[in-house]
Chains A and B, each alone.
Chain A
Amino acid sequence: MFAYAVRRLLQFIPTILAISLIIFILLNVLPGNAALMSRGEQDTGTLTTEDIEEMKRDWGLDKPLWYRYAVYLKGLVTGDLGKSFLRREPVNQLLKERIWPTLKLAMTAMLIAICLGVPLGFYSALRQGRIADTITMIGAVSGVSMPQFWLGLLLMYFVSVKFQLLPPQGYGEGSIKHIVLPAFTLGIGYVGLLARTTRAAVVEILSLDYIRTARAKGLSELLINQKHVMRNALILILTTAGLQFGDLMAQTVIVEKLFSWPGLGSLLVDSIFQRDIPVTQGCILVIISTFLLVNLIVDLLYGVIDPRIRASYK
């Protein structure tokens, strides 16, 4: 188990390296002069060629690309992600302020998705082919097909504007009231997805031999569901949830923008519009790292849930 954990951890490093390289190349061949942009458009007219050259030197943009990547990598190792073009603050500082709101939002949404999606899928599988199953699955495919920001707009209108139950946007110093709408908006698509995955997993497991054996042994349905079905379905559900977490982290971009949530996502969008490359780079890297980290944890959890996997890595 320990060797397995170490090996998984080591796999993490080349992946993040490759991703950092792709993102770096992608963003640093950006047309337009980043340093110039960061001064704001109104005073670019007064800049001379020498000024621009000086600014490029200031930001190290006169060096060749490979050199800049080497510098960037060195910073990455020491945990220094550079300085924002626009705000002249270290990117680290900006990210630090924003990461917690985003994580809070993403985790709450995932929690909602799991707490609603898994029981719904389970219930649907047990009622296979009946009306309750059909209705749940129609609901699930609808949830998957709905554009999140539209749902968010509707929730905002009905819950906040019409009935004034919850604040329409903002962070509100982290109060629970403020997180409800964004978290639901973000989570509802994943409720549908997890319900479908859970149903598929449970339906398949129910048809397997060991379930028949358990029934033949005279175990109660409750015990079968608890011990045999749920435990085996959990692996598939966990994998799906883990893989979807990256997507969910990315979707925070839209939800945060919609609800004016002060997280990484809104920072990323703002930095893209402002062409603040160090910040864009930092945001993307943190979002992807979080996703990879979550999947690493999921992989390690397999060993805990499934003794077969544990055994194969001893």
Chain B
Amino acid sequence: MNKNLRKIIRQTNLLVGGGITLFVITVAVFAPVLAPFHPVDDSDLMVSEEPPGAPYYLGTDIQGRDILSRVIYGARISLAIGLVSQTLNTIIGVLFGLSAGFFGGWWDDFVMGLTNIMLSIPALVFALAIMALLGPGLINVFIAMGFTNWSFSCRITRSQALSAKNLDYVKAARALGYGRIRLMFTQILPNIIGPILIIGTLGVAWAILLEAALSFLGLGVQPPTPSWGGMLSTAREQLFTAPWISIFPGIAIFITVLGLNLLGDGLRDILDPHTQTQHS
């Protein structure tokens, strides 16, 4: 009984997380259809700081732009940043991890050393340093975040490659005359997709939070582009007069990240039998 109940709870993680994620993706894709106003061009100073109510269901900001529309368009920015930067991280991590685990030797030592150093520099600090170097902007955010969070996927790929190297199916493929590169990508990689997918999903959630933080500090995506973090950054000054400007972009970030985290947890429960008994 207890076990079944737990199974249902686990499935709920996946269902709720997947549902929320799908919802956010839909909103992002159909933003032009869903948004009642244009997020940047439809600014009307006559209706600046309107509280929520028709036709501005979530109110307007100081420049008289519809917050609902900006939140809807913001989904595009956040998802794009999350996906692009995490894809970069995954590619770097997998390439480093696979080759380190597979080739071993000095290359392995070097990659592990680099990974440990990357792990000891908090990603936010690293991203800040890179943003300081490159200046704010969307492309620079991709770079700052796409090259700073690969250590987790690298470590997991390496350990999996290391153990897979001596398994029978890999030995068999080697006996068949597969080259090293072919062995790595056709034999080992497909078998470690699960953990990589889990880390990737959680990584997207993490990247969305980090982008919001960078934008909040003024080092991320620049206005007037509607990014959730950027909206909160400008909302701070109107906290006393128009608190709704601060509330809705935050809810959007929260729901998106929550959905991705739940999805990641759910995927882990299904794909990773080793941690079935655990919850985190």
User: Counting chain B CB atoms within 10 Å of each CB, which of A26, A153, A203, A284 scores highest?
Assistant: A153
Chain A interface residue count, Cβ-Cβ cutoff 8 angstroms: 58
Q: In the complex, what distance in Å separates the CA atom of A275 from the CA atom of B135?
A: 10
Contact of B217 among A247, A249, A254, A275 (CB under 8 A): A254
Query: When the two chains form their complex, are residues A196 and B258 in contact, meaning their CB atoms are under 8 A apart?
Result: no
Q: Are A26 and B129 in contact (CB under 8 A)?
A: yes
Q: Which of A22, A145, A207, A269 has the most CB of B within 10 A?
A: A145
B254 close to A18 (CB less than 8 A):
no
- Establish whether residues B209 and A147, one from each chain, have CB atoms under 8 Å apart when the complex forms: yes
- Cα–Cα, bound, A22→B113 (Å): 13
Q: Which one of A19, A30, A142, A157 lies within 8 Å of B133 (CB-CB)?
A: A30
Q: Once the chains bind, are B6 and A129 in contact (CB under 8 Å)? A: yes
* A284 & B213 in contact (Cβ 8 Å cutoff): no
How far apart are the CA atoms of A218 and B254 in the complex, in Å?
47
Q: Interface stretch among A180-188, A225-233, A285-293?
A: A285-293
Q: Decide: A272 and B122 in contact? CB cutoff 8 A.
A: no
Interface string of B239-257 (1 = CB under 8 A from A): 1100100110110011001
Closest chain A residue to B131, Cβ basis: A272
B29 at the interface (CB under 8 A from A): no
Q: How far is the CB of A141 from chain B (nearest CB, A)?
A: 6
Q: How far is the CA of A253 from the CA of B216 in the complex (A)?
A: 11
CB-based contact B129/A247 at 8 Å = no
Q: Is the CB of B205 within 8 A of A257?
A: no
Question: A137 touches which one: B122, B124, B236, B279 (CB < 8 A)?
Answer: B279
Number of interface residues of B (CB under 8 A): 49
Contact with B along A151-187 (1 / 0, CB 8 A): 1011011000100000000000000000000000000
Interfacial chain A residues near B258, Cβ < 8 Å: 141-142, 145
A26–B130 Cα gap in the complex (Å)? 7
Residues from chain A with Cβ under 8 Å of B116 in the complex: 15
- How far is B258's CA from A142's CA once the two chains are assembled, in angstroms? 6
Contact A150 B129 (CB under 8 A): no
Question: Does A200 reach chain B (CB closer than 8 Å)?
Answer: yes
**Cβ–Cβ < 8 Å partners of B124 in chain A:** 247, 250-251, 253-254
Q: Does A263 contact B (CB under 8 A)?
A: no
Please name all residues of chain B whose beta carbon is closer than 8 Å to the beta carbon of A199 when the two chains form the complex.
279-280
B123 located at the interface, meaning its Cβ lies under 8 Å from any Cβ of chain A in the complex: yes
Most buried by B among A129, A197, A275: A129
- Nearest chain B CB to A164 CB, angstrom units: 12
User: Within 8 Å of chain B (Cβ to Cβ): is A102?
Assistant: no
Q: A19 touching B117 by the CB < 8 A rule?
A: yes
Contacts of B14 in A (CB 8 A): none
A141 touches B213 (CB 8 A): no
Q: Write out the residue numbers on chain B whose beta carbons fall within 8 Å of the beta carbon of A19.
A: 117, 120-121
Residues of chain A lying within 8 A (CB to CB) of residue B232: 147, 149-150, 153
A146 at the interface (CB under 8 A from B): yes
- Chain B residues 111-142 with CB under 8 Å of chain A are 113, 116-117, 120-125, 128-133
Do the beta carbons of A154 and B217 come within 8 Å of each other? no
Complex CA gap A83/B128 in Å reads 21
Cα separation A200 to B2 with both chains bound (whole Å): 17
| Chain B residue at minimal CB-CB distance from A158 | B243
B5 interface hit (Cβ, 8 Å): yes
Partner of A147, one of B5, B120, B253, B280: B253
Interface presence of B227 (CB below 8 A): no
Answer whether residue A1 sits at the interface, using C-beta atoms and an 8 A cutoff.
no
Inter-chain contact A30/B132, CB cutoff 8 Å = yes
Neighbouring B residues of A148 by C-beta, 8 Å? 213
Instruction: Judge if A114 is at the interface, Cβ distance under 8 Å.
Output: no
Given contacts A15-B116, A203-B278, A254 and B257 within 8 Å (CB-CB): no
Task: Verify if B261 is at the interface (C-beta below 8 Å from A).
Answer: yes
Q: Known contacts being A129-B2, A147-B250, A150-B232, is A207 close to B277, with CB within 8 Å?
A: yes
- Selected from A27, A134, A153, the residue in CB contact (under 8 A) with B132 is A27
A23 within 8 A of B: yes
A144 proximity list for chain B (CB < 8 A): 261
With a cutoff of 8 Å between Cβ atoms, the chain B residues found around residue A15 in the complex are: 116-117, 120
Bound form: Cα–Cα A243–B110 in Å = 22
**Which B residues are in CB contact (< 8 Å) with A82?**
none
B27 within 8 A of partner (CB): no
* A153 partner, pick from B129, B236, B280, beta carbons under 8 A: B236
Contacts A19-B121, A287-B122, A287-B125 given; does A280 touch B132 at CB 8 Å: yes
How many Å from the CB of B135 to the closest CB on chain A?
8
B125/A253 in contact, CB under 8 A: yes
Q: List 16 A-B contacts (CB under 8 A).
A: A15-B120, A129-B6, A146-B257, A147-B232, A147-B254, A148-B213, A150-B246, A193-B280, A203-B278, A247-B122, A247-B124, A250-B125, A273-B218, A287-B122, A287-B125, A288-B122
Given contacts A128-B2, A129-B2, A207-B277, 10 further A-B contacts (CB under 8 A): A129-B5, A145-B209, A150-B232, A150-B246, A151-B250, A153-B232, A253-B128, A257-B217, A275-B132, A287-B122
